Structure 1
């Protein structure tokens, strides 16, 4: 198979568990008892950007599974895509007396106040998925530029020498993930000067926003040959609109390995490719890294959890009942 593997330190995958509907603190036993001072249990605070994307829902599950397995308490807070709330959440987690913080930032620069509060309290911070300019002991993520490059190469190959117009549906404005997924894709298609990329709006990785955007974009760009979205959820929104408008001739590609996309690729339709970004293993790696940092172990500044291409040649190997394709299925 034509896959690049760079698997990280904790990339074993486990089955998906049910997710509680509300943002509450959890313990290994599922309760909400006191902190380390009263229970003797090590405590991790996890401030997450949002739960509005399937990827972030699964990231939380991965972290919860790993914390339970390690016998540590995980205090969770959902910022709801509001950076002010996230800074307040981080302060609340500090007040609760957590030993180490995991932060998935809404805005890498906007969360600076929360990180400063953690530093003042002597609590180390590990970021996950989205890095920050400074203030973290380590970052756990994947090479998003490589993801964009892998998918871009497949799209360029499918379009061939004739090239054509590609609509790009972007993630979040100012985010490093969106920036890198865009840059990698652009690099991969740059060799063909007959490929033109039309910049679509930032849709915050949310399918419904992508649906609205693509409905307009295919009207103003009727000659479109492909749609590239910064995640599979948005790409599937684009695919929905294209099918409704009888434009199954337009190729689609995304990132993250969302199982719905993987099955579409395996089915041989217009969905060409995605890049592996298993959030379960990412959450597990983040928890393990946070524990290592808290214990004073030497940890790399950037922990790469690994990626790989999923296309028509190998999509069947990744097809399963999980929400995302699992890492480690070579």
Structure 2
């Protein structure tokens, strides 16, 4: 009798084990080609996507392109060879990623781009991100307000730019200029491209502040570079004389605003972006239809509301739009 029950138990465990294997095999495979993980924003985005996929029982593999378009194209081919079902892609270059997009299209792999869009029309390509042009507009409106208000604003702004040729850089620049260029009293000094990296911004701004000691404001295309400017301003004893505006909602920047060392940042929560990208990717697999652009939304953090967003346990301020 004992042997009989043991045999039944063994068969039951084998069935359970086989069911688990089938379940894993049937789980969708999401591959993520990330532009880089050398930035807190991209690390948080990737970690959120990975966490969301795990919570939804999905196989998830990410590869770091290291800001190298050749590697990214090869990474995508690698993921397709592994048999992925849907590709998440944060492109190094909106045009240079064409070989990867073409390979995905040829293999009937749907693509969801995240944070940065691609150039050109591709079958089943959905972009999950934010309107970087509108972010620039929000930063520009705040800049004009701080420098005297619409029609009366005046001062010298040093602009620290992101990645040369990138759509994000272009939109954050153009949106900002669409507002501040209307003000005759505002002069803008466009600094070099610092690739969204703080150390590069520090080096560039050290030179810029020597050339333009009368600067009234710094506008940086992300918070990491804005905080680099803050560091230099503190070293030169000018932190109370120069306004600083950034973009992304990096928690360190939120604290700096709360402490009076920065003046504004435009929200760009990467955690929600990563979550939404995976949800959309799985929706695409299930046949749901989406517009070409899925907007994750944004907002503005200033001194008056910085306390509401500050949470030292997080790397970025949380922004989830209301339904």
Normalization by structure 1: what TM-score? 0.86
Tell me whether 142-151 or 279-288 shows the greater mean CA deviation: 142-151
Between the aligned partners of 2:215 and 2:321, the Cα distance in structure 1 is 34
Name the residue aligned to 2:131. Answer: 143
Correspondence 1:192 to 2:180: no
Between the aligned partners of 1:280 and 1:177, the Cα distance in structure 2 is 18
CA deviations 1:43-79 (Å, max 9, x no partner) are 0010000011110000001101110111101110000
Kept in 1: contact 2:296–2:321 (CA 8 A): no
Between the aligned partners of 2:249 and 2:195, the Cα distance in structure 1 is 17
CA deviations 1:223-282 (Å, max 9, x no partner) are 11111000000000011011111111111110000000011111123x110011100000
CA deviations 1:172-206 (Å, max 9, x no partner) are 11111111111111122233211011111111111
Alignment of 1:31-110 (within 5 A): 39-110=25-96
Between the aligned partners of 1:272 and 1:157, the Cα distance in structure 2 is 11
Deviation for aligned residue 1:39? 2.0
Between the aligned partners of 2:250 and 2:24, the Cα distance in structure 1 is 40
Kept in 2: contact 1:127–1:139 (CA 8 A): yes
User: Structure 1 pair 43/329, CA: closer, same or farther in 2 (3 Å)?
Assistant: closer
Deviation for aligned residue 1:157? 1.1
Name the residue aligned to 2:238. Answer: 247
Could you say what secondary structure the match of 2:247 adopts? coil
Name the residue aligned to 1:22. Answer: none
Between the aligned partners of 1:76 and 1:264, the Cα distance in structure 2 is 32
- The CA RMSD measured in Å over matched residues stands at 1.6
Could you say what secondary structure the match of 1:180 adopts? helix
Between the aligned partners of 2:271 and 2:42, the Cα distance in structure 1 is 10
Between the aligned partners of 2:318 and 2:193, the Cα distance in structure 1 is 27
Kept in 1: contact 2:297–2:321 (CA 8 A): no
Correspondence 1:172 to 2:158: no
The alignment of Structure 1 onto Structure 2 pairs a total of residues equal to 295
User: Structure 1 pair 67/36, CA: closer, same or farther in 2 (3 Å)?
Assistant: farther
Deviation for aligned residue 1:294? 1.6
Between the aligned partners of 1:299 and 1:110, the Cα distance in structure 2 is 25
User: Structure 1 pair 188/126, CA: closer, same or farther in 2 (3 Å)?
Assistant: same
Between the aligned partners of 1:328 and 1:99, the Cα distance in structure 2 is 27
Between the aligned partners of 1:65 and 1:72, the Cα distance in structure 2 is 10
Could you say what secondary structure the match of 2:263 adopts? strand
Between the aligned partners of 1:204 and 1:162, the Cα distance in structure 2 is 29
Correspondence 1:203 to 2:194: yes
Name the residue aligned to 1:152. Answer: 140
Could you say what secondary structure the match of 1:254 adopts? strand
Deviation for aligned residue 1:36? 8.8
Kept in 2: contact 1:318–1:329 (CA 8 A): no
Higher-Rg member (1/2): 2
Could you say what secondary structure the match of 2:216 adopts? strand
CA deviations 1:26-53 (Å, max 9, x no partner) are xxxxxxxxx9997222100100000111
Between the aligned partners of 1:182 and 1:45, the Cα distance in structure 2 is 31
Between the aligned partners of 2:41 and 2:74, the Cα distance in structure 1 is 23
Name the residue aligned to 1:260. Answer: 252
Larger relative contact order, structure 1 or 2 (CA cutoff 8 Å, min sep 6): 1
Between the aligned partners of 1:178 and 1:291, the Cα distance in structure 2 is 29
Correspondence 1:297 to 2:288: yes
Normalization by structure 2: what TM-score? 0.88
Between the aligned partners of 1:143 and 1:75, the Cα distance in structure 2 is 27
Uncovered stretches (5+) of structure 2, i.e. residues with no partner: 1-20
